Amino acid sequence: MSIEERLKAAVEPIVPVCVHGVYTGTEPVYCTFNFTEMPDSFGDNAPEAIRCSGMLHLYMPVTSDPRGLKRDLRRTLLAAELGAATVEDASDKDNIHLVFEFEALDLEV
């Protein structure tokens, strides 16, 4: 299972809308994600894994309380072997925006 598949399988039971890149729908609570991929674990001059530095973005109305979702998403990322996420609050006056940064290895090169 790819890292994207693992991420979606972990997040969608908690936040049903979870898309790569930009979300253009109308749900008030949703997640987007993006990755930077780097070759890793070299052997015979070729990578044997891909290290992904990922960001999961949680968006919700500013009137919402994000604490429960934040806790649930941290736990599910860890359980899905996507690492212990660092969380940054990138909220503004219009939306709560939490950024979960994580790293994971994809052994399917």
Angle (nearest 5°) at CA 25 between 22 and 30: 70
Query: Would you state the pLDDT for residue 42?
Result: 86
Options 3.30.70.20, 3.40.1080.10, 3.50.50.60, 3.30.2000.30; CATH for 3-106 is 3.30.2000.30
How, if at all, do strands 18-20 and 95-106 pair? unpaired
* pLDDT score at 46: 86
CA-based R_g, the chain, Å: 15
Please give the average pLDDT of every successive group of 10 residues along the chain, which has 109 residues.
Answer: 93 98 97 94 86 96 97 96 95 97 86
What pLDDT is stored for residue 91 in this prediction? 97
50 contacts 38 by C-beta, under 8 angstroms: yes
Q: Nearest Cα to 56, choosing from 9, 98, 19, 100?
A: 100
